[in-house]
Amino acid sequence: MSELRPLSHWSGAPAVLTLWRPAAATLEAVRRAPPSPVPPSYEQEQHLRSFRACESQREEMARLLMVVWEEPGQCDLAVMSEVLTAHVRRHDTYHSWFAERGGQMLRHVLADAADIRLVPETLGEVEAEDWQRHATAVPSPFTWNCFQFGILQRAAGFTCFASIDHLHGDVSVIPLMMREVHRAYRAMVDGGTPLRLPAPLRYLDYCTRQRQRTAALTLDAPAVAEWIAFLHRHHGRMPKFPLPLGVLEDRCLAEFAEIDLLDAAGTTAFEAACAAADARVIGGLMACAAMTERELAGTGRYGVVTPASTRKSSQAYKSAGWCMGIVPIDFETGAGGFGTLAAAAQRAFDDRLALADVPIERVLELAASLTTIRPAATGGVMLSYNDMSRPPLTPEIERDWQRADGRTHFNQGMAAQVAMWIFRTRRGLALTAAYPANPTARASIARYLATLARSCQQVAEDREHLAAGAIA
C-alpha cells in the first residue's frame, strides 16, 4: 500500500477524461432487483447511518476509496469496458443496493450479474480541478452505482482511476483490486486472451456469517465484556486524543497533515529495535505514540483503536467488500522506556486481535441498558499501520504497484476526531493524519506529529549506534 493522500494532491497535465457509466438496461435491471434476506454487514450499516447523519446536516462525508495508477499507450476503450464490466460482475458486493425503510437498512440484489454492463463516455480534455470533481461525483451509498471508473488519456499513456464508496471495500484490498484490473487489461491488450481468475469469495456470505455469529453474543460473552471494560477505562467512550482539538462534538470538517517518520534505513533500524523488544513494527509505533502522549500531556495510560482485517484467507483478500474491524488497545505507560512499552503494546495487540471480529456496533447494542456506556462510542483516536511488504501483499503485487505508480487518495469530508494512517513502503514510514479543521487542532497535531517523529527517529538512531558498536 502506498501512502494515503488527500485528493488535492492528485494533479498533472491536462488530459482527455473518459468515465464508465451503467448502461440503460443495467439501471433498469437494478430498479427491478428484488429484496434480499441478507442484511448489510455491521460495517455497511454503520456507514449508511453515518451517511444519513451527514446528509441531514448537509455535510460532506469522507466515504470514497480512490485508487490511481498509470498505463502506457492509448487506452483501448472496448477492452477496458469489457475488463471493468467483468470486474463488477465478479464481485458480488457490487450487486447490492440499499434502502432505508422503517429505520431498517434493507438490501436489494441483482438477480443476474450478467445484466451489468458499463459503457464509456468521453467528456473531453480537463484539468486537475475538473477531473477531481468528476472523480468524487459518485452517487450516494443508497444508490446502486456508488462506484466509478475512469481514465485520463495523454499522448504518452493514460491514468486509470477508481472511486469506490467505502460501502464496497476497505483499504486492505485496494492494491489487489487495482492489480486485478491492471492485469486483466494487459492480458487482453498484450496477448488477446482474457485473464482467468479464481472465483472470489461472496461478500453476502460474509454478511450472513457475521450476523449469525454476533446474534449469539450476550453481555456476558468474554469478548463483549472485554470491549465494555475497555470503554469503561475511557469514561464510556473511545480513548480521546490527549491534546486540545478546539471542538466539543465528534463530527467536524477534517483537514490533513502529512509527515515522513523514517527513511528506509531508519525503518530497518526501527524494526530491529522492535524485534529486540519482542515486538513488531506496530507495537513499536504504539510505544512511540505512548511516549509522545506521556511527554506532551503527562498521561499514564495509552489508549487507541486500530483497524484490522477480518479476512481469514488469501482468497478473501482477493475479494471485494468491507471486511474490517477495530482492535481496542490500551496499556499503562508509567516511566517505561521504548523496549518495555513496545512489548506491552505488542502483547495488547496480539491478545485483543480477535476482538476485531466483534463489531463495536453490536457491543453498543448489547450495552444499551448500561448508563455508563455512551450510546455512540465514536470519536477518539485511531492509529492504522499498513505494510506493503507483508501478506496478503506479495513482492509481485508490490512490484506491479510500484511500476504502475499506484497511489491512493481520499475525498475531504467530516471526520470523527483524529485518525492517523502510517504506511510502510520501500521509502520508509510515512504518516497521514486527519483532524478537525481549526487552529487549535492544527497546532496540537503539529506538536504531536513532530514529537512522534522525533521519538521514532531516536529509537532508530539508538539501534543504529548499538549495531555500529557491536561491529566495532
Does residue 116 share a domain with residue 19? yes
With beta carbons less than 8 A apart as the criterion, state whether 197 and 185 touch.
no
With beta carbons less than 8 A apart as the criterion, state whether 373 and 367 touch.
yes
Taking CA atoms, 120 is separated from 23, 28, 149, 159, in Å, by: 9, 18, 9, 15
The HSE-up count of residue 126 (CA atoms within 13 Å, CB side) is 21
Does residue 280 share a domain with residue 159? no
Does residue 267 share a domain with residue 201? no
Q: Helices 439-471 and 264-276 meet at what angle, rounded to 10? A: 70
Residue 165: strand, helix, or coil: strand
15, three cell numbers:
488530459
Phi first, then psi, for residue 20 (nearest 5°) are -105, 125
Other CB atoms within 10 A of residue 57 CB: 10
The HSE-up count of residue 154 (CA atoms within 13 Å, CB side) is 15
Residue 230: strand, helix, or coil: helix
Report pLDDT for 470: 66
249, three cell numbers:
462534538
- Boundary residue ending a domain (206, 227, 246): 206
Report pLDDT for 375: 77
Does residue 287 share a domain with residue 191? no
Report pLDDT for 400: 85
The whole-chain average pLDDT of the chain stands at: 92
Q: Mean pLDDT throughout 365-370?
A: 94
Phi first, then psi, for residue 220 (nearest 5°) are -85, -10
pLDDT bucket at 249, cuts 50 / 70 / 90: low
Does residue 252 share a domain with residue 141? no
Q: Is the residue at 214 inside a domain?
A: no
Taking CA atoms, 460 is separated from 262, 429, 430, 468, in Å, by: 8, 12, 15, 12
At 311-343, the pLDDT tens digits run 988 888 889 999 999 999 999 999 999 999 999
Dihedral (CA of 136, 137, 138, 140) sign: positive
At 13-40, the pLDDT tens digits run 999 999 999 999 999 999 999 999 999 9
Q: What whole-number percentage of the chain has pLDDT above 70?
A: 96
Does residue 159 share a domain with residue 18? yes
Q: Is the residue at 466 inside a domain?
A: yes
Left, alpha or beta for 53 (phi > 0: left; psi -120 to 50: alpha)? Answer: alpha
Query: Is the pLDDT assigned to residue 173 strictly greater than 90?
Result: no
Other CB atoms within 10 A of residue 222 CB: 11
Report pLDDT for 329: 97
With beta carbons less than 8 A apart as the criterion, state whether 290 and 451 touch.
no
Does residue 174 share a domain with residue 75? yes
d(CA 83, CA 68): 16
Other CB atoms within 10 A of residue 73 CB: 10
Tell me which H or E stretch contains 65.
Answer: strand 64-72
Query: Is the pLDDT assigned to residue 471 strictly greater than 70?
Result: no
Q: Is the residue at 300 inside a domain?
A: yes
The one-letter amino acid at 411: N
Residue 134: strand, helix, or coil: helix
Does residue 336 share a domain with residue 239? yes
Q: Is the residue at 10 inside a domain?
A: yes
Q: Mean pLDDT throughout 114-133?
A: 97
Report pLDDT for 417: 77
At 388-446, the pLDDT tens digits run 777 666 777 778 888 899 888 888 776 667 999 999 988 899 999 999 889 999 999 99
d(CA 469, CA 472): 5
How many domains, in total, are found in the chain?
A: 2
**Does 392 sit behind a cis peptide bond, omega within 30 degrees of 0 on the bond before it?**
yes
Report pLDDT for 467: 73
The 301-309 sheet, strands edge to edge: 324-332, 301-309, 381-387, 418-425, 428-436, 251-263, 414-416
288, three cell numbers:
512511540
Report pLDDT for 345: 98
Q: What whole-number percentage of the chain has pLDDT above 90?
A: 76
Report pLDDT for 22: 98
Does residue 109 share a domain with residue 32? yes
The one-letter amino acid at 196: R
Does residue 349 share a domain with residue 263? yes
pLDDT bucket at 1, cuts 50 / 70 / 90: very low
Does residue 280 share a domain with residue 144? no
With beta carbons less than 8 A apart as the criterion, state whether 94 and 149 touch.
no
Range of the domain at 31: 4-206
Report pLDDT for 144: 97
- Boundary residue ending a domain (206, 237, 257): 206
The one-letter amino acid at 112: D
**Choice among 140-144, 149-153, 383-387 with the minimum mean pLDDT:** 383-387
pLDDT bucket at 116, cuts 50 / 70 / 90: very high
Helix H segments across 91-189?
A: 128-136, 174-186
Q: Is the residue at 213 inside a domain?
A: no
With beta carbons less than 8 A apart as the criterion, state whether 262 and 424 touch.
no
- Boundary residue ending a domain (146, 175, 206): 206
Q: Is the residue at 13 inside a domain?
A: yes
Query: Is the pLDDT assigned to residue 164 strictly greater than 80?
Result: yes
Dihedral (CA of 47, 1, 390, 277) sign: negative
Q: Mean pLDDT throughout 200-219?
A: 96
Does residue 157 share a domain with residue 269? no
Q: Is the residue at 181 inside a domain?
A: yes
At 35-82, the pLDDT tens digits run 999 999 999 999 999 999 888 888 888 899 999 999 999 999 999 999
Q: Is the residue at 353 inside a domain?
A: yes
Dihedral (CA of 271, 351, 373, 311) sign: positive
Q: For the domain that residue 271 is a member of, what is the CATH number? A: 3.30.559.30
The one-letter amino acid at 244: P
3-state secondary structure 327-387: EEEEEECCCCCHHHHHHHHHHHHHHHHHHHHCCHHHHHHHCCCCCCCCCCCCCCEEEEEEE
Query: Is the pLDDT assigned to residue 472 strictly greater than 60?
Result: no
Query: Is the pLDDT assigned to residue 257 strictly greater than 50?
Result: yes
Q: For the domain that residue 189 is a member of, what is the CATH number? A: 3.30.559.10
d(CA 2, CA 4): 6
Q: Mean pLDDT throughout 134-142?
A: 96
Report pLDDT for 251: 62
Cβ contacts of 247 within 8 Å, gap of 6 or more? 436, 438, 441
Quote the DSSP letter at residue 248: S
